[in-house]
Structure 1
């Protein structure tokens, strides 16, 4: 089954397809939050390793 068919079945009311897409959506959301967390960690590491200039 191709994804377009799967999305269309979910849109038409297929409960199984809807649940699979809900799980997939949650996985994507977690992956995005995790990626953002690592971006913040990286930004903080870069910022903390820069010399501090006090004027």
Structure 2
């Protein structure tokens, strides 16, 4: 069975405030850093044969 893993960036202050961040690079807040660290511990998934990263 194939598995698809989706991941999104961690939280920033602008995300928390529901502000549009499409054209501005906003740093992760403390919670976002924690989310990124947790995601890094979860990945890589054994058996993953490829990945796709969209930066914009």
TM over 0.5: no
Give TM-score, length-normalised by structure 1. Answer: 0.34
TM-score, scaled relative to structure 2: 0.33
Q: Greater relative contact order: 1 or 2 (C-alpha under 8 angstroms, separation 6 or more)?
A: 2
Larger Rg: 1
